[in-house]
A and B are shown apart, each in its own frame.
Chain A
Amino acid sequence: MNEKGGTRRGSPREGEEVSQIKEPVPGYMKTAFQANGVAADKLIYAIHTDLTLEGDFSDVYVAVDNTHLHILYGLEEVVKVEGARRIVAQYTTHKAEAYPLIDIGELKTEKLLSTCRLISVVGETSEDNDDTSKDDNARKKLLMIFSLGLMGYVDRLIKVVKNIREGVDPMREVIVEDTLFCPKCATRYPEPDRKLCPKCTDKMSIFFRLLSFFRFYTGKVAAVFVVVLAITGLSILAPYVGTRMFVDEVLSPDGQWYRMVGTIVLFFMGIRLLNTGFEMLQGVVVGKIMPWIIYDLQMRIFEAMQRLSVGFYTSKRTGALMNRVSRDARNIYWFFVDGLPFIIINVATFIGVFIVMLLMEWRLALICISIIPALWLMYRLIMHVYRRYHHKFWVINSQMNNMVSDAVNGQRVIKAFAREGEEANRFANLGSKQVEVDVARNNLGFTAFPAIGMFRFLGQVVVTVVGGMMVINGEISLGMLLVFLSYLQMLAGPINFLATVSNWWARCMDAAQRVFEVVDAHADIVEPENPIHLPEMKGEIAVRDVWFQYDPATPVLKGMSLDVPAGQTLGIVGKTGAGKSTLANLIARLYDVNEGSVHVDGVDVKQLSLTELRTNIGIVSQEIYLFIGSIIENIRYARPEATLEEVIWAAKMASAHDFIVTLPDGYETRVGAGGQELSGGERQRLSIARTIIQNPKILILDEATAAMDTETESKIQTALNKLQTGRTTIAIAHRLSTLKDADMLAVINEGKVVETGTHEDLMRKKGEYHKLYSIQMEGLKVISMD
């Protein structure tokens, strides 16, 4: 394995190389178990957890073989021996436990607030007694406690034990390829799903990968590079001509071009002109390349986004990631347009000036250069403090903005509770904090930067004094001294720039990392290698013992089974969070089941062609999304080749035609962001029309009318009833009255089907459905009495 234990604080133990970590039981764990009398070669799977039964943090190794579950509590010591890549671990065992598999019964997990328990349940558990807390305590045994984040790994251990019991391959459907820790330096990843080590991320490799986007523009990039070097060379040459040559050769009677002021001025102007020309050329070429680079990047990101599964978008992390994608691309853009050319110029200027100074007069050059490290350090220090103040100011400022927005939006509440004074005080408190920070920031800015200027001036004074003495002694010319002073001034620019650019660089590389993360992400739902094609889908659905969880700690479906014959309507009833919508997502294969299977016409959906499956499944849900475009484009979205007449018919079927024709632009009305505003009911009817055009064999109505008023609901319900004819329909609704006519109803509770039957059957049964129905009817009576 390379579970937590497999990689933690350096997965390669006892001299193992990093690349050899994908083992179900890593070598260092085998050694630890061997030392405790366990036959390590028989171990099948092992994980590394973190808590003792008393709740103390510990290094807990848990392994399973064909007969036992072994647990070691102890302390792992990691010793680096050769660089960062070769690490040796020593394990000191405090306690060892072994449980025979035949005695521990079924393994279950119980989620606590921040930790979980692994519990063995001895004996048979009844189907409807899934919750471990309801089990008889006498039959349960607490095996271990672990942090919530390790739930996924413990789940895999449970799966292995289950496979052993069932006599199948123990590692069937058990993933061993992920890790929580960086394999290089053993630092825990800040985000478990994002395998990105803050220490080991090689910014240079990201930079070179970014540079690979420039491969189509190598000629232009080379030209920019040459031009940048030419700019640097000319910048260095300018003071030499403007001071050294002017003073020593033109103004001095001994000079080579004595009195030829016009010539030297022309020469100088020529240099400046050339320099300006090169700067313009560089700007134009960079300006031409960069938009295309950003276009390439954005296209890569967008294409990657289309490939990814729904799960990627719904995870919190990726949600934030996606929001930043466009900003990240801009960050990269500005770094390459405004940053990189100037980094090259400044580095080249710094090196070039220093070399020229050394060649001209090495003693003065060394005096000049001696102040550079101090100057550099001062810049770094001041910028560090300055940025801290700036950040503080920014945080307070955004809090104040939020407060203003709060006060504007909540005026009615503020006034209703007569809290105007308090609100003003709150704002004043924050304002005074902002003033404090701003004053400190200004003080720093107005004192530190002049102080740096003064320090630089002192350097100039030293150079002037020493240089002046050298001029008096005839060791150097006056022009030489003046050009040295000019070069000293020139060095200040690169130092200032390079002291501040590091953050810019880090920000750009971070942005690039996030962009590449999206580009490199793998889709969870992939097309099978040899998909099965159903020439004429009938629409028969079978759900077999399906287990599903969005996050490892909370299963949503717990062994759900259902059958829907082709052409029939199944109504699904249940409380919020019971797993109704999840079931719809699994049928459409927006997610894959964790265990069990979903079949359409007898074929596992995982084996069906994804496009074929999804074109045959129409989903009308509460969440309606209209794309930017005309109404006709939105209705045609499911079948772009649909004729105008088919679109009109679909809209009529969806009771949408009447409101569409009253819009000034009819079917050509633009909707979506920035377009015509439509009510929820109108949007819903458009989405139904879109589904009608799709003409799916299976229809999933997921709370399609939940947010509608009664009149709109009635219109939509009529549309939906027309749509259901001849299709297999799964209708999910809170309002049970809308499901009365379904061929069959299934009541879902806590991820399981607890009742099935027609409305009449279930009412007679007086079970869960009867209870829910009665509550709703009572509620309606109260409303009608009011």
Chain B
Amino acid sequence: MESIKDQMDLGMMDLNQATFYVGEGGFTGLRYKGEDYKHIVLRRIMPIDQPLHYISVADQENKEICILKAVADLPQDQRDIVERELDSRYYSPEVLDLMSVKDKLGYVYMEMRLRNKQGKEYDKSCAVKDVSRNIRMLSNNSVIIFDVDGNRYVVSDLGALNKQSLRRLDAYLF
């Protein structure tokens, strides 16, 4: 019997044969091994621990074309394309401040100060249902919040949150 390592063929991307591009319609495409995939789907295999490593590249039928091991291995222009596509898919603004957290009839209403990937800051109100499922610790130091509309908000460093915000959020962290 072969060992696992002998058998492994993960379909890793051959960088020499891959070119990411943005098509006329604004969709990200990939030219790979002689094929032109005009609209690809990029998915993080480990979105939390390794957001820029192990990116699954699939076609519109969700058939995996290959796996990109590290975004950093790409030339800068293609790297920007991939990162923009990933940011767009995994849109989850950073929570900077929790101005108010109120528990009413099974819903938690939050007023937050957020910052998106482009560095723009804005205020947002949202409602969270079933807090044990929708406010989750990602690691010892980071939290993800899902609101009733399906939006995701991330606190990537609990230590960086101000004391009042931390106190307001603390009751829901398990």
Contact = CB atoms under 8 A, between A and B. Distances in A.
Contact of A648 (B2, B54, B58): B54
B1 A666 contact: no
A154 to B, nearest CB: 47
B47 A652 contact: no
A365 B97 CA distance: 68
Given A657-B64, A674-B132, A727-B1, A646 B46 contact: no
Given A657-B64, A670-B136, A674-B133, A664 B47 contact: yes
Contacts of B2: 726
Interface in A656-704: 657-658, 660-662, 664-668, 670, 674, 692-693, 695, 697
A652 B4 contact: no
Interface in A628-670: 632, 644-646, 648-650, 652, 657-658, 660-662, 664-668, 670
A446 to B, nearest CB: 37
Contacts of B43: 661-662, 666
Interface string A421-448: 0000000000000000000000000000
B60 to A, nearest CB: 13
B4 A649 contact: yes
Contacts of A632: 46
Contact of B7 (A649, A660, A665): A649
Contacts of B5: 646
A661 B45 contact: yes
Interface-central residue, A648, A695, A697, A727, by most chain B CB under 10 Å: A648
B156 interface: no
Contacts of A697: 1
Nearest to B5: A646
Contacts of B11: 652
A661 B7 CA distance: 21
A674 B132 CA distance: 8
B149 interface: no
Interface in B44-62: 44-50, 54, 56, 58, 62
Interface in B32-47: 43-47
A666 B44 contact: yes
A56 B47 CA distance: 73
Nearest to A669: B47
A662 to B, nearest CB: 7
Contacts of B56: 661, 666
Nearest to B12: A645
Nearest to A668: B48
A567 B2 CA distance: 12
B10 A666 contact: no
Contacts of A662: 43, 62
Nearest to A722: B7
Contacts of B16: none
Contact of A646 (B8, B45, B58): B8
Contacts of B46: 632, 644, 666-668
Given A648-B10, A666-B46, A695 B4 contact: yes
Interface-central residue, A645, A693, A727, by most chain B CB under 10 Å: A645
Contacts of A668: 46-49
B3 interface: yes
B68 interface: no
B10 A649 contact: yes
B64 A661 contact: yes
B67 interface: yes
A684 B67 CA distance: 24
Contacts of A658: 62, 64
Nearest to B11: A652
6 contacts: A648-B67, A649-B4, A658-B62, A661-B43, A695-B1, A725-B1
Given A645-B8, A670-B136, A695-B4, 5 more contacts: A644-B54, A646-B5, A668-B46, A726-B1, A727-B1
Rank and list the top 5 A-B pairs by shortest CB-CB distance, nearest first: A726-B1, A661-B56, A649-B8, A661-B43, A666-B45
